[in-house]
Chains A and B, each alone.
Chain A
Amino acid sequence: MQENQTANPELKRPLSIIYRWLGDRIFLTVTVALGSSIILLALSMAFVLYSESSTTWQEFGIIGFLRGTTWDAGLHLKFGALPFLFGTLITSLVSLAIAFFPAVAIAIFMAEYSPRWLSGIIENLVQMIAAIPSVVIGIWGIFVFAPWMRETFYLPVFTWTADHYPSLLPVLGNPIGYGITTATIILALMIIPYITALTNDAIRQVPKEQREAAWALGATRWEVIRMAVLPYARGGIMAGAMLSLGRAVGETMAVAMLIGNKNTLPFSIIGPASTMPSVIINEFREAVENLHLSSLMAIALSLFVISLIVNLIAAYITRKLSITGGQLV
């Protein structure tokens, strides 16, 4: 086209108009169309989940469904989401509580203490572990971790309790190995790499001058971290924790493989339980009744809302709490 333009000046103007004006127009239109299809996708997710679950909302009511404790897909076709809401909140919050401090510790060690070669190794390892598919962790959990937990912890604790405080047995639960504690520990292991990576990013963004100022005041290395680095990175670390909580809420396969899948409250400490994603995975393929399908969709919609809230909080924290106010990740 360009040869044409230089060779024949008379062609230049019309071609150039097509080439410039129309080309730009078409390109912009295509790009915007592709981009807005993502907007459409996100909106359609909410819409589809709502419309697919409308039967359930009509049948039980929003409050009634969320507070209902029975999940009976066989006889009475009565559905309530409370066991799964409860299971999801417990597993994700406890796993975040377990994972947070070790994960931040790794990030601090990596960024501030360790020599460069070692932090490179740790960083690569952490990122690699974050990339392990959750089913692969799940298969390890099923065949190695859960049996090991049963033999080493659950059975001794169970027999000890049975001998001394038999009244506490229902609280403790069945020591089959697959249960809420096992799932929570695995979940904690799985989100540690995320928190570490996000914390590391936040610490990296602390300007050098900030550290140097603290050094110049005669601070020790830990005092530099505590007084200069952590306050600055606070927003990023909190946002990272929220994002990781979002991951824990939505983590499906490993939890479904390890939690033991019990659909009734009350849950016990080491006994089986269920979360929102795990019940969807376990029952959606086999669900035949319309009401059952739509109740699973209703659970999915609740999961959508919870993830949405967690993500929005994370976005809010990044904007408000971090000193830079900029974007992370």
Chain B
Amino acid sequence: MRRVYDQKSLRQRTIWDHFILGLLMISTLVVMVPLLIIVGYVIINGAGALNWDLFTQELGSPARAMQGRPTGLVHTILGTAVVDLLAILIAAPLGLGAGIMLSEYPDHKLNPVLRILNDTLNGMPAVLKGLLAFSLVVKPMGTFSGLAGGVALAFVMIPIIARSTESALMNIPWTIREAALAIGLPRWRVILSTVMPAARTGLVTGFLIGFARAAGEAAPLMFTSFGSNYLPNHWSNMILGPVDTLPQRLYSLAISPYKEWHEMGWAAGIILLTFVMILFIAARFLTRQKIKT
């Protein structure tokens, strides 16, 4: 290495430096531009396809769209809300519990195993989580259901929430715990009343990120909540019967042979994108606030 730098003049080295800078700038542009083009296309095409019927009508058969009768995605939007809520209800206690275990009981014997398996689970493709939910929920129930979809999405959320809970709690200095212990609080009160409130922002951020990740996943839903073209006749069928969700509906619309449905696919795309982006920006915003204080 020494020889290389000895032989180059300062001028050569500066030129090389500028050359690298140019290279880095070009590659940044080359990559960022197509990615922004994707977002731009989705926004422009999606905004063009948005209309009021989307939010008030159900989809129905393809004939309905081709004859120009009003169709929409209201059952999809409601279904997404139900499935996502179920997922966060299932995932929150498990993720929180694991996070607390990892951070507050660092000496626990199971922790190394839990940490490795949690990371492994996080790295597993979402489609496998869908298959797991299929075997654990759909098969015993005998039918595709919103509940199964919720379980599948919960499998996506759990490792993310566990990891972010752990790091949010770890960020709280040990002195706070020691102070709480010193005034005579038992350990569980220390965790519930001092550590967790102090880590509130971090916890919420983790939930939002996990939620945003799972909300965009279509693969686990294909064979758990399955999808349907109609609004269920009773609300309980949203949980116990097949239910439509945005990502999975978007996929079905996009691969369908009907032009009208392709249009609707773009609309579903922008609705989904907006939903995920709101969650995501909220998470970013919270993180920034946390740094400020």
- A interface residues, Cβ below 8 angstroms from B: 19-20, 23-24, 26-28, 30-39, 41-45, 48-49, 52, 101-103, 105-106, 108-110, 113, 122, 124-125, 127-129, 131-140, 142-144, 189, 192-193, 220-223, 227, 243, 246, 249-253, 256-257, 277, 280-281, 284-285, 297, 300, 303-304, 307-308, 310-312, 314-315
Contacts and interface: CB of A to CB of B under 8 A. Distances in A.
B14 interface: yes
B97 A34 contact: yes
B126 interface: yes
Nearest to A101: B27
Given A31-B105, A143-B266, 18 more contacts: A23-B186, A31-B101, A35-B101, A45-B128, A45-B129, A129-B35, A135-B254, A143-B45, A143-B254, A192-B31, A221-B21, A253-B218, A253-B251, A256-B251, A281-B127, A285-B223, A307-B124, A310-B123
Contact of B110 (A39, A101, A220, A314): A39
A232 to B, nearest CB: 16
Contact of A250 (B105, B126, B265): B126
Which 6 residue pairs spanning A and B have beta carbons closest together? Answer: A34-B97, A250-B125, A133-B216, A27-B188, A35-B101, A42-B117
B276 A307 contact: no
18 contacts: A27-B191, A35-B101, A37-B97, A38-B98, A39-B114, A48-B132, A105-B23, A109-B24, A109-B25, A128-B277, A129-B39, A133-B217, A133-B272, A134-B218, A143-B262, A222-B21, A249-B125, A281-B127
Given A34-B101, A36-B110, A252 B284 contact: no
A49 B128 contact: yes
B187 A139 contact: no
A20 B13 CA distance: 68
Nearest to B281: A128
Tell which of B13, B117, B219, B247 has the most Cβ of chain A within 10 Å: B219
Interface of B: 1, 5, 13-14, 16-17, 20-21, 23-25, 27-28, 30-32, 34-36, 38-39, 41-42, 45, 93-94, 96-98, 100-102, 104-105, 108, 110, 113-114, 116-121, 123-129, 131-132, 135-136, 155, 158-159, 162, 186-189, 191-192, 212-213, 215-219, 222-223, 226, 247, 250-251, 254-255, 262, 265-266, 269, 272-273, 276-277, 280-281, 284
A151 to B, nearest CB: 16
Nearest to A278: B127
A41 B121 contact: yes
A319 B202 CA distance: 26
Tell which of A103, A222, A312 has the most Cβ of chain B within 10 Å: A222
Given A33-B97, A252-B126, A315-B116, A136 B272 contact: yes
A246 B102 CA distance: 25
B276 A133 contact: yes
A128 to B, nearest CB: 7
Nearest to B131: A300
B163 to A, nearest CB: 8
Contacts of A189: 31, 34-35, 38
Tell which of A110, A144, A314 has the most Cβ of chain B within 10 Å: A144
Contacts of B97: 30-35, 37
A139 to B, nearest CB: 5
A267 B266 CA distance: 31
A171 to B, nearest CB: 27
Given A252-B219, A307-B124, A35 B98 contact: yes
Given A45-B132, A140-B42, A277-B125, A132 B159 contact: no
Contacts of B25: 109, 113
A311 B120 contact: yes
A34 B96 contact: yes
B3 to A, nearest CB: 14
Contacts of B269: 135-136, 139-140
Given A38-B117, A280-B131, A136 B125 contact: no
Contacts of B129: 45
A137 B265 CA distance: 12
Given A102-B30, A253-B218, A281-B127, A132 B273 contact: yes
A78 to B, nearest CB: 22
Contact of A135 (B114, B187, B251): B251
A136 B126 CA distance: 16
A135 B249 CA distance: 10
Given A36-B114, A128-B277, A105 B121 contact: no
B2 to A, nearest CB: 11
Tell which of A35, A106, A140, A303 has the most Cβ of chain B within 10 Å: A35
Nearest to B104: A31
A49 B133 CA distance: 11
A113 B36 CA distance: 22
Contacts of B114: 35-36, 38-39
Nearest to B188: A27
B12 to A, nearest CB: 10
Contacts of A220: 13-14, 16-17
